[in-house]
């Protein structure tokens, strides 16, 4: 019994030290912004469109050649169903990245924002 208590205590102490060490590391994230947001013309025969944007990436806080993922959350209107929100995951890399989402003929994007930007190693 004493042996299992000591083992549990040691495992907990090691875990606590690991978490404390990780929590002490600085966290950096790039700054992302939208540029050149467009809808393509409707494409026959489906009349689908593509929403595209260039996302600028200011990774000056990050180590050189960093990259990571981020989400764009879309607020979507649909003619034949309730309005919804959905998200798409993309990869960021400085200085910019082109992104796009295909939409059916009865869908439109009325809002969009960046979410869940992955941290990067901080520059030195």
Q: How far apart are CA 58 and CA 29, in angstroms?
A: 9
CB 93 within 8 A of CB 57: yes
Omega prior to 2 cis, within 30 of 0: no
Q: How far apart are CA 99 and CA 117, in angstroms?
A: 15
For 113, other C-beta atoms within 10 Å of its C-beta total: 11
Global model pTM greater than 0.85: no
Q: What pLDDT, in 10s, does the model give residues 93-123?
A: 999 999 999 999 999 999 999 999 999 999 8
Sketch out the chain's domains with CATH numbers. Answer: 28-115 (2.60.40)
Q: What pLDDT, in 10s, does the model give residues 30-83?
A: 999 999 999 999 988 989 999 999 999 999 999 999 999 999 999 999 988 888
């Amino acid at each position: 019994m004493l042996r299992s208590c000591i083992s549990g205590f040691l495992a907990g102490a090691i875990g606590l030290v690991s978490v404390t060490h990780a929590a002490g590391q600085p966290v950096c994230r790039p700054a992302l912004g939208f540029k050149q947001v467009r809808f393509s013309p409707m494409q026959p025969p489906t009349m689908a469109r593509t929403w595209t944007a260039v996302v600028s990436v200011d990774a000056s806080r990050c180590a050189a050649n960093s990259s990571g993922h981020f989400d764009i959350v879309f607020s979507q209107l649909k003619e034949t169903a309730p309005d919804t929100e959905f998200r798409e995951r993309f990869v960021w890399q400085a200085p910019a990245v082109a992104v796009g989402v295909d939409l059916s003929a009865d869908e439109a994007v009325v809002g969009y924002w960046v979410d869940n930007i992955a941290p990067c190693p901080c520059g030195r």
